[in-house]
Structure 1
Amino acid sequence: MIGATTPVDVRDRAVLVLLATAGIRNGELRALQPHDINWRTGEVFVRRTKGKRDRVAPLIEEAGAALADYILRARPKVDSPYLFLSFTPPVGPFRCASPVSRIVQSRLQHSGIEFVGGAHLLRHSLATQLVGQRRPINEVADLLAALMHGEDVLAA
């Protein structure tokens, strides 16, 4: 995994863990604001979904720890409402999908994982992980359907 030696490393780890565990899309990640994280309930409020509806995604402990580390230690101290920021001047939010996709591609390739595609493919790794944990296939299918349709996966 990514060593947390630089602020960019800390940010990239938070990006990867959140994409892989919460099933959010690239654009949803870029739209996140610090107040969208509900630390007490372990949830992420996701706005601007593909289905034009807001939803809630789970925030597992590892993702919460990575986000907290980023916010407390690495996030640039600039006046921006967005959670994830570019370190390339001028420091500010990611304006398009390509920087997030580059983070995913470069970090996975650096880890020795041949990866072709963008950040969207990490959404599907969540299902693979659930199947590997022997979760019932109908539960995995329901989760994927909910994520694809922008539904609140924690409502049930």
Structure 2
Amino acid sequence: FVRRTKGKRDRLAPLLEETGAALADYILRARPKVDSPYLFLSFTPPVGPFKYASPVSRIVRKRLRHGGVELGRVAGAHLLRHSLATQLVRQRTPINEVADLLGHRSINTTALYVKVAVSQLAEVALPFPGGVA
């Protein structure tokens, strides 16, 4: 259960078993021992919830660089979201399911991710009537 997402809404999201195991490990071994209802906390004093996305984006960029990932123009926390959507589209997940997972209210917002599937669109394109001009 995810509270107060970017769209200021609560929603349910699937949790893979390995993700659940990683979260449990974080809670048991790494999370600062403070009384806070928030799951993810800043290790930088004062320890508490992240107030903005920028520290999370810095952490993501640092870990990606550490993993040898080339960082382009879009790098940070949003890159993870974009990568997930791109992979789902490439795997031919129905666009409405991708929209639900991302929490998009409008299918038009999710449709932006379809542009990455141009090669797949070419596979199903019908020949131009009358041949090539």
Q: TM-score, normalised by structure 1?
A: 0.58
Q: How many aligned positions are there?
A: 103
Partner in structure 2 of residue 88 of structure 1: 44
Higher normalized contact order (CA 8 Å, seq sep 6+, divided by chain length): 1
Select which of 55, 79, 82 maps to 1:124.
Answer: 82
CA contact 2:88–2:98 (8 Å) conserved in 1: no
Q: TM-score, normalised by structure 2?
A: 0.67
Bigger Rg, structure 1 or 2: 2
Q: Which is strand-richer, 1 or 2?
A: 1
1:148, distance to aligned residue in structure 2 (A): 4.3
Alignment of 1:2-41 (within 5 A): none
User: Runs of 4+ in structure 1 displaced over 4 angstroms?
Assistant: none
Q: Unpaired runs of 5+ in structure 1?
A: 1-44, 152-156
Q: Deviation string for 1:62-106 (max 9, x for gaps)?
A: 110110000011111111111111111221111211110001000
1:149 aligns with 2:104: yes
User: Taking every aligned residue pair, what percent have the same amino acid on both sides?
Assistant: 75
C-alpha distance in 1 between matches for 2:105 and 2:28: 30
Select which of 47, 50, 59 maps to 1:103.
Answer: 59
Matched residue of 1:68: which SS?
A: helix
C-alpha distance in 1 between matches for 2:14 and 2:105: 13
Opposite residue 85 of structure 2, the aligned amino acid is A
